A and B are shown apart, each in its own frame.
Chain A
Amino acid sequence: MAVLELLQDGFIRHAILAAFLAGVACSCVGVLVVTMRISFIGVCMSHAAFAGALLGIILGLNPTVVALIFTLLAAAALGPLADRGNFSPDTSLGIIFSSTLGIAFLLLSLVPGPKTEALGLLWGNILTVGKMDIIILAAVMLAIIVLLRLFFKEVQTVVFNREMALASGIPATAVFYGILICSGLTTVASLNAIGGLLVFSLIINPAAAAYQIAPDLRSMFFISALFGVLSGWGGLWLSCLLNLPSGALIILCSTLLFLGAVTFSPKKRPWLADAMSREPRSEICQTGDRNPEADLHDEPETDSRQPCSKSALMEE
């Protein structure tokens, strides 16, 4: 009954819709970020978006538009740094991360008057999202789903191994930058609802949970989206129930789902993982015989055979 009463309110309906849209968009992008192991790039992007939105507030411009520009600039800078920086990617990203965070907090201190709007971007409040926020979230979510549908095979190949994808004629660099841009767009679209500090948890946690369970990439997108939406709705419900900040509760729900997935992951149980892959152990054929072609083993601890030295060959 209480739930039905809540649904009478327009802002609750908006919040439910926003949780669904942000949950799906963030968790789909999260699958790409988690499988490509570029989580830190995403954290940098979310801080860049936050800094951009703050600059928008200071300059009296639309925070979403400025955040979008900042995020795209961050993607343009981060891609090459991750690819061919003179420092290790960790070092380069660490510098960018701390820089964007520093810029964000500097801009936060420069926001004139009450900082309510600025802090709202930091923590987010799904209960205050407007129609425009929902339209932007819906557009971003649809764009991501359409792009994934169109380019799934390219994405799958790049996610598996970028160099091999490039070597086989897949435009892997374009796909990589596309992933960075999608990550930025999702972050910007979710700023008001989830907040700049928390949005990246909603990107990572559902996808990381799905990673523990999914047998293939396609199902990982569905499971991640389900977890993302459950986190959003669960956090929203708890927020109404306990009168606590919605953004933080959404993230805590996604963390709980991740912990549950890790605990009950079939991939931690080889017998269950094998059953999931619907195949017997590779060394044994279905008939029970040993497969004569399937016994190429891993490297033993030592191999006494040494390669011929170049000097030996030179002397020849």
Chain B
Amino acid sequence: MGNNAYSILIKDVYAAYHGMPVLEGFSLQVPEGELLGVFGPNGTGKSTLIKVCLGLVPVTSGEVRISGYRMSRGSVSFVRKLTAYVPQSFDVDRRMPVTAGEVVMMGRFGRMGIFNRVGPGDQAAADDALHMLGVRHLAERTFGRLSGGEKQRVIIARALAQEPRILLMDEPTNSLDWESKKRMCSLIREVHMERKLTTLIVSHDIDLLADTCDRIMLMEQGRIIGARNPSEFRHCCRGHGHS
């Protein structure tokens, strides 16, 4: 497979925070249209992996290509418009004067360019995303006053409003209960299929990854150390006493 066949191509990347190495010789290939999970314990560099894909954490060596575009200072802004990011947590004050509808519309702003105003196409994309995530009825509500699950879906709607090629999700079920996690898994799968996305989910949630992903990579101390399909992955976890 050539380099351009992969939506995400990471080759022998080293990345560090304040001089502390996080990714060490990290490599990963995600073919277009795949829903890939990366599993690993806390502190293993999963969130850094997502941020490397977004150019938020600089790499000290190695190569990152997103949709065939090599990540560099000149291309990072363009690459970010191809990728949508669902962060692990978003600490928003309950009184922050921003409605859920405005949050979803913010997903369009990066694509629109600096001096352009919201047009009918942008409004339609935001409405479509609100509808798909089933949060249209929340559009006028203050974002900070929503429940954890509602916020999560609004943030995913925001990501979809961006009309990305690649969806990057960092622990998307972190603040959800068991029932909500199940719903979120099917929702992520549905969104991935319907929008024909390449999706990368990093998580330490076995059920999320096993129920949702096509393939799961195992990560340890800043490196990929193996791959499993969902049934192998679940089987191995059950075999070791995890339900």
Contact = CB atoms under 8 A, between A and B. Distances in A.
B225 interface: yes
16 contacts: A154-B114, A159-B98, A167-B83, A168-B80, A168-B81, A168-B109, A169-B81, A297-B147, A297-B176, A299-B177, A300-B177, A303-B177, A307-B205, A307-B206, A313-B39, A314-B220
A289 B131 CA distance: 18
Contacts of B194: none
A297 B148 contact: yes
A149 B74 CA distance: 28
Given A211-B95, A299-B177, A279 B237 contact: no
Nearest to A265: B95
A292 B84 CA distance: 26
Interface string A300-316: 10010111111011111
A278 B101 CA distance: 13
A279 B140 contact: yes
A140 B73 CA distance: 33
A111 B174 CA distance: 58
Interface in B156-185: 158, 162, 174-180, 183-184
Given A164-B90, A217-B98, A313-B226, A153 B147 contact: no
B195 interface: no
Interface residues of B, number: 80
A153 B112 contact: yes
Interface of A: 35, 84, 86, 150-151, 153-154, 156-157, 159-161, 163-171, 211-212, 214-217, 219-220, 265, 267, 270, 273-274, 277-280, 282, 285-286, 291, 293-300, 303, 305-310, 312-316
Prevailing SS type, chain A contact patch: loop
Contacts of A157: 106, 109-110
A308 B39 contact: yes
